[in-house]
Structure 1
């Protein structure tokens, strides 16, 4: 589709400071250094691929913004000096700064050598451009030439506006005949009290969203690889699936971090694409988890939840968010999809991602990062988990959005795995 979807625009508003800033990131770790020439070739393939686009707004009221092809991109960046492996994730977190899906560029390729040997390459893009599955499709297309579905031709601005207004007016009228829906209570922003001081707040207030300027550290991350054979064995032993075991692990991590509530709610992204297309083709659903839940009970809860996706309240058409001013749309949709934890199972990655040119990868991970997230405006989500499988390994990427929680995400992952008889290899 050459027009932005409702989900695209939610992420676009987040980029502009109305919501939680999100960028998607793929990480490749190799045992050998990756030279600048190879990085240039990968960058060139991406620059002319589906990530090479930016948002163009329409002047016709009600017409959706559209995508325009652009080959303007951040140059491929290879650090001048190697970094210690212990600083790998701090370096990766910084690769989300200065992305702009509207003015451009909305993505970046970068790499760094490690003092202990080897290299890490990062592909980061604004969530307005792609979701997790789409990011893997884009890099598969760049590395292996795997074909993608052709974009669906759109309408003129005037035709698109007529269609949007017809959908909104007709759908709203039908919904109102059933009674005025109750406006959902928007979640309150959380504040990491122990991480703030007045000077830090002052510097944050003077910075533009996603400016990449001085900030208080907010998120902490961990990446761990686990044998696929062991992961699946434990899932089957608990009458669950690889996915329900994943949700069980993230839930237990939140409780181990000090979360006091007797229940928590998990948001589960659902891939809704029927063709290999680079966009935000996803829906959200949710499940409520208790401390007594197991991989078996979570398997049943998730199966039921996947049949009931999150929708706008009272049957009001979601297209309403695309025809009203941005700040109104943000107020109506604030916190949409945010729950106590996020469990994003990105799925099996294509084999083309197993190497970068002649260099076999020792690890591949995918996750979201939050450049510019302020410690005084934290979302409801406290812990996000991302699961991928490639070859004979699962990779679990965890991002904590709760600076006051202890211990570290890596320690929480180790404990959650050990409780199930699993061990992993930390990045």
Structure 2
């Protein structure tokens, strides 16, 4: 996701440091059936075999870090939920059946269908499989309630570095007192914020939702980073604006009409940490937009992040609303036809999985259970970009069944769009 540390971070109230943020709670609503469910997934490929001891060691380290926690509701009305440590986790899942080169993404998609529960745990799962001809693919999936892409990267980085991050656990009496303080301060902040709000429609209707009745269609490609950057600069853009242009090009090849509105996550956290530290800004792509014009548009958009609550209402009011109302308002504010998350460069520790050099690293959000839930969302296509060493990895998740009827169609649009720009995508 795009990082803008000069943007205002969400204010915190109360004394606990493990309270759910507004974005955390939005994902909790979605997990409970009020919207599009989401999990974060990191996928690694190596050219050599990863043994069980390293996987077990990573699993144990992750369980002691920020993924090893669950959501606990307060008994005091108005107090935000908080995280508490938990040791409940799935064991490492490892199959002995080697995957062919064409089976890796299908296997990764299947791992994202794991049953996760951020309230009762387990909230995350680690799996691995051998690759025919040598190598290993590893999947780490966690509930989006627990963290976002950057938080997942930080959790893995600390685990690979051998760091433990214990979550502070307040005693029951201290927690009760903290809950009361949080409820009073949160309510006071919302009341003060509402005094300056002029209610009414912003004049901008949200995109209409569509029903999702089947699993997402996915694509994941690697592109040489130097070539990507050269193409971006030759077009007068940046690596990020080329990312937006490519995603839009794939969407229009699928028949989606311009203008298209893109939701862009912006990292507003002031330091590292597990909570979802993003807000959403919007960018509108019109006819004639190029990588160069999108570069200018994104520069302006980063300074106007959207709030989780619409119409200028204080974000924290969503904590005080009934779940269904809060989920509805949040969806109207943050969901658009496209979603583009530039996760950035992975840290040096991701260049290898322990002693095993990485062949590829990809990050994305996935949506389990869509073939049984039949949820509605305005989002038709999501894309995720990250760089690992000399490679950009682009992951695409398509939800619109009419525009993207099958995986082959999505991957054909990817090949055509990149080929037209002089890029050679290597599919996972």
TM-score (norm: length of structure 1): 0.89
Q: Are residues 277 and 119 of structure 1, via their aligned partners in 2, closer, same or farther at CA, if it must alter by over 3 Å?
A: same
* Match of residue 182 from structure 2: 160
Retained in 2: the 8 A contact 1:85–1:116? no
Q: Structure 2 unaligned runs (5+)?
A: 1-16
Retained in 2: the 8 A contact 1:149–1:277? no
* Match of residue 267 from structure 2: 271
Secondary structure at the aligned position of 2:296 is classed as helix
Q: 2:209 aligns with which of 189, 201, 207?
A: 189
Aligned 1:259-338 pairs, distance under 5 A: 259=256, 261-311=257-307, 312-338=309-335
In 2: Cα distance, 1:356 partner to 1:180 partner: 52
Aligned 1:168-187 pairs, distance under 5 A: 168-175=190-197, 178-180=198-200
- 1:133-184, CA deviations, whole angstroms, 9 ceiling, x for partnerless residues? 1111110000024697997999700000001111122222332xx4555698
* Match of residue 392 from structure 1: 390
Secondary structure at the aligned position of 2:223 is classed as strand
Q: Are residues 71 and 418 of structure 1, via their aligned partners in 2, closer, same or farther at CA, if it must alter by over 3 Å?
A: same
* Match of residue 128 from structure 1: 145
Retained in 1: the 8 A contact 2:262–2:283? yes
| Deviation of the 1:80 alpha carbon | 3.3
- 1:325-381, CA deviations, whole angstroms, 9 ceiling, x for partnerless residues? 212212322343111111100001011112122221111111111001248434211
| Deviation of the 1:72 alpha carbon | 1.4
Secondary structure at the aligned position of 2:231 is classed as helix
* Match of residue 119 from structure 1: 136
In 2: Cα distance, 1:394 partner to 1:253 partner: 17
Q: 1:100 aligns with which of 117, 134, 144?
A: 117
- 1:54-89, CA deviations, whole angstroms, 9 ceiling, x for partnerless residues? 001001000000110112111111013223332222
Secondary structure at the aligned position of 1:315 is classed as coil
Retained in 2: the 8 A contact 1:335–1:380? no
Is 1:18 aligned to residue 34 of structure 2? yes
| Deviation of the 1:293 alpha carbon | 0.7
Retained in 1: the 8 A contact 2:310–2:332? no
- 1:242-281, CA deviations, whole angstroms, 9 ceiling, x for partnerless residues? 000000000000000121x231111111111121112101
* Match of residue 352 from structure 1: 349
Aligned 1:194-273 pairs, distance under 5 A: 217-259=214-256, 261-273=257-269
* Match of residue 96 from structure 2: 80
Secondary structure at the aligned position of 1:343 is classed as strand
Q: Are residues 343 and 99 of structure 1, via their aligned partners in 2, closer, same or farther at CA, if it must alter by over 3 Å?
A: same
In 2: Cα distance, 1:245 partner to 1:37 partner: 41
| Deviation of the 1:112 alpha carbon | 1.0
Is 1:68 aligned to residue 69 of structure 2? no
Retained in 2: the 8 A contact 1:341–1:381? yes
Is 1:410 aligned to residue 407 of structure 2? no
- 1:11-48, CA deviations, whole angstroms, 9 ceiling, x for partnerless residues? 01101111111100000001122222211011011010
* Match of residue 45 from structure 1: 61
| Deviation of the 1:405 alpha carbon | 2.5
In 2: Cα distance, 1:150 partner to 1:15 partner: 22
TM-score (norm: length of structure 2): 0.88
In 2: Cα distance, 1:240 partner to 1:146 partner: 39
Secondary structure at the aligned position of 2:227 is classed as helix
Retained in 2: the 8 A contact 1:182–1:314? yes
* Match of residue 205 from structure 1: none
Aligned 1:357-372 pairs, distance under 5 A: 357-372=354-369
| Deviation of the 1:123 alpha carbon | 0.6
Count of residue pairs the alignment pairs up: 401
In 2: Cα distance, 1:143 partner to 1:289 partner: 40
- 1:207-265, CA deviations, whole angstroms, 9 ceiling, x for partnerless residues? xxxxxxxxx64211111111111111111101111000000000000000121x23111
Retained in 2: the 8 A contact 1:345–1:387? yes
| Deviation of the 1:120 alpha carbon | 0.5
Q: Are residues 179 and 50 of structure 1, via their aligned partners in 2, closer, same or farther at CA, if it must alter by over 3 Å?
A: closer
Q: Structure 1 unaligned runs (5+)?
A: 193-215
In 1: Cα distance, 2:266 partner to 2:330 partner: 19
| Deviation of the 1:188 alpha carbon | 4.3
Is 1:421 aligned to residue 422 of structure 2? yes
Retained in 1: the 8 A contact 2:224–2:390? yes
**Once structures 1 and 2 are overlaid, which stretch shifts more, 105-114 or 312-321?**
312-321
